[in-house]
Amino acid sequence: MFKSPAKLFQLAITLLACAFLLIPTLQSALAGVTVNYFRGVSSGLTFKWIIEVWALYSGSIFLSIGLALACLVCTLIIGVPAAYALARNPGRLSRMLEEFISLPLAIPGLALALALLQLYGGWREFRMSWTFILVGHVLYTLPFMVRSVMSVLAAIDLKTLEEGAASLGAPSHRRFLDIVVPNALPGILAGALTVVTLSIGEFNLTWMLHTPFLKTLPVGLADSYASMRLEIASAYTLIFFAMIVPLLLAMQWATARAQRIMS
């Protein structure tokens, strides 16, 4: 199998690339459970740092989860009907609207945050509340939900299905709930997981919008890197990993499912 030099070369490159990606990750994870990073693993392994991170930052973790779920609810309520409306009325105006919704993808989060601060910064109550960060997250994640749902809706003959339901006596809200939503479900699921993952990991925008009392998981991470000892920061990364990896796996599974429907 590895007789030819070309194959050997390929294998070496692949292994090198893997090492390049994995070693820092493993090292960081290891640092999170090492008693003293500067003395190495020989100093012993411990859960002390993880417990300490939990004590210091559990608020950030719950805030992030809460934000992600609230963001999901908002993108579902806004995004699914929006995707439906865009898919149902194709045309130049729809394409322009779709591009417009997608703008936050291209604009740096910092610029988006600045715009939000300029617009709403004067409303003290709003500015200080977690809903301010939520607005930023919804703006940033909405295009992912809309596009994911739209791609599934574009693959089914929505118009005829709805006409069928209408001829059977279904008014428009029943058609949406009975026909559109169930058939768009794979797209909605894929979009939902993307939204939650992105919201939990979002740093750029959140860093600009956060207050000392409202630190999300990534903002807390930056804070711990800047002000805590390295082991605590690493333990923090470990917790972050433990939360985000299952979400990423679920996202892959949901996207594969949605693509199966579309083919």
Nearest alpha carbon to residue 139 among 237, 62, 208: 208
Nearer to other proteins, 56 or 161 (CB): 161
Q: Cα separation of 203 and 76, whole Å?
A: 22
Q: Cα separation of 247 and 89, whole Å?
A: 33
Nearer to other proteins, 170 or 243 (CB): 170
List 36, 117, 178, 204, residue binding other proteins (CB under 8 A) = 178
- Binding-site residue total for other proteins (CB under 8 A)? 19
Query: Does residue 156 interact with other proteins by CB under 8 A?
Result: yes
Which two structure tokens, joined as six digits, stand for 112? 């988006």
List 5, 91, 122, 171, residue binding other proteins (CB under 8 A) = 171
Which two structure tokens, joined as six digits, stand for 50? 């993880």
Residues 184-203 that bind other proteins (CB under 8 A): 185
Query: Does residue 161 interact with other proteins by CB under 8 A?
Result: yes
Stretch that binds other proteins, among 29-37, 111-119, 135-143, 173-181 (CB under 8 A): 173-181
Residues in CB range of 150: below 8 A, 6 or more apart = 83, 86, 87, 98, 187
Query: Does residue 160 interact with other proteins by CB under 8 A?
Result: yes
Query: Does residue 174 interact with other proteins by CB under 8 A?
Result: yes
Give min distance, CB of 261 to other proteins, in A. 9
Nearer to other proteins, 102 or 183 (CB): 183
**Contact, 198 vs 141, CB < 8 A?**
yes
Which two structure tokens, joined as six digits, stand for 202? 């979002």
Q: Is 64 exposed, middle or buried (0-12, 13-18, 19+ CB in 10 A)?
A: buried
Summarize as ranges the residues that interact with other proteins (CB under 8 A): 156-157, 160-161, 163-171, 174, 178-179, 182-183, 185
